[in-house]
Structure 1
């Protein structure tokens, strides 16, 4: 996925926010609620409708001490799952 210049966006009606009641980050989509794991939360925090997938990977590589290949794979898997579930557009 390295070099991926697609720009992920949340689909219309989808919101990513911290839910104080659950004390967790949640992704709300029409008639759906997702509770992303810690890795997905860090990825979703970077979805701004302007940053490319490559840019998200670059940011995560700078933040975390993990090999680029691992981060690249995690980002690709997260966006693939979320796109299939209708939460993001690529």
Structure 2
């Protein structure tokens, strides 16, 4: 699980981009690309480098009228995977 106060940040050189050729959202990093599904894109759309994981979770729960606990679980797993693969930094 991710600490609620952790702030997800896309590191320098990593960005969310709409790939017109593939007609889908991707996460671009130097020499790497990850295709995003709708859920991944929704989560990363809330990552602004300023809001905490708790704030992002609450925003997603409000936006999609979904249970906060389920949003937190799914978002934490997704963001942790990205952090492990160095597509994302988690700062305190």
Distance 1:61 1:3, change over 3 A: farther
Measure the CA separation in 1 of the matches of 2:67 and 2:38.
17
| Aligned partner of residue 17 in structure 1, secondary structure | strand
**Aligned counterpart, 1:74:** 74
CA distance in 2 between partners of 1:2 and 1:58 (Å): 14
- Structure 2, unmatched stretches of 5+, are none
Moved over 2 A (4+): none
TM-score, normalised relative to structure 2: 0.90
User: In structure 2, how many angstroms separate the alpha carbons of the residues matched to 1:69 and 1:38?
Assistant: 19
Please give the alpha-carbon distance, in whole angstroms, between the structure 2 residues aligned to 1:22 and 1:55: 31
Q: Structure 1 stretches of 5 or more lacking a match? A: none
RMSD: 1.5
* Cα deviation, residue 69, structure 1: 1.1
> Paired residue for 2:48?
48
Deviation at 1:3, TM superposition (A): 6.7
